[in-house]
Amino acid sequence: MADILTAQERSVLMGRIRGADTKPELFVRRALHALGYRFRTHVRGLAGRPDLVFSRRRKAVFVHGCFWHRHGCRKTYTPKSRRHFWQTKFTANVERDKRVHEQLARDGWRVFVAWECEIEADDAFVDRLVAFLGPPRILERTPRDPTGPLAGEPGTW
């Protein structure tokens, strides 16, 4: 089947696919931040550059797109053109994911994979992620004395 886009249009379209800060990743980051979790993103020193890193907990979260990482759901399809190219690419992606997870486990990290389809469709997804991470570390802030010498100035709370 011929592509309905020209080579240049297809190149522009494929070039817009992001590797970081995707919509599913931003959803996960916002949800966890709202619950009180603090994390680093895309840490270069760790195998595979996990999307979210919880250093004190030694836990890493990858937010995978079902198409690219072959989840097996309805979003996992193989394009009809250049099947060999795509199959080779997908196989390499899955093998790399496996190597990265094994390396992180050897280094003492626990890994959670958040799949794009689960994030979109499953209300219990955040609960499973919280169960994996453990309770958030709540930082309680106590207000300073509102009648003190700095009362009413910015930064007194």
**Model pLDDT for residues 100-117, shown as the tens digit of each residue:** 999 999 999 999 999 998
**Model pLDDT for residues 40-92, shown as the tens digit of each residue:** 999 999 999 999 999 999 999 999 988 889 988 888 888 888 889 989 999 99
127: CATH: 3.40.960.10
pTM of the model: 0.76
Of 32, 28, 31, 59, the C-alpha closest to 43 is 59
- Strand runs (DSSP E) across 28-141, as ranges? 40-41, 52-54, 59-64, 110-115
**Is 151 inside a domain boundary?**
no
**Is 98 inside a domain boundary?**
yes
Report the distance separating Cα 137 and Cα 142, nearest Å.
Answer: 16
Looking at residue 87, its pLDDT comes to 92
Into how many domains does the chain fold? 1
Residue written as token pair 């003492």? 108
Contact 87, 78 (CB under 8 A): yes
Looking at residue 11, its pLDDT comes to 72
Residue ranges making up the domain that contains 30: 18-133
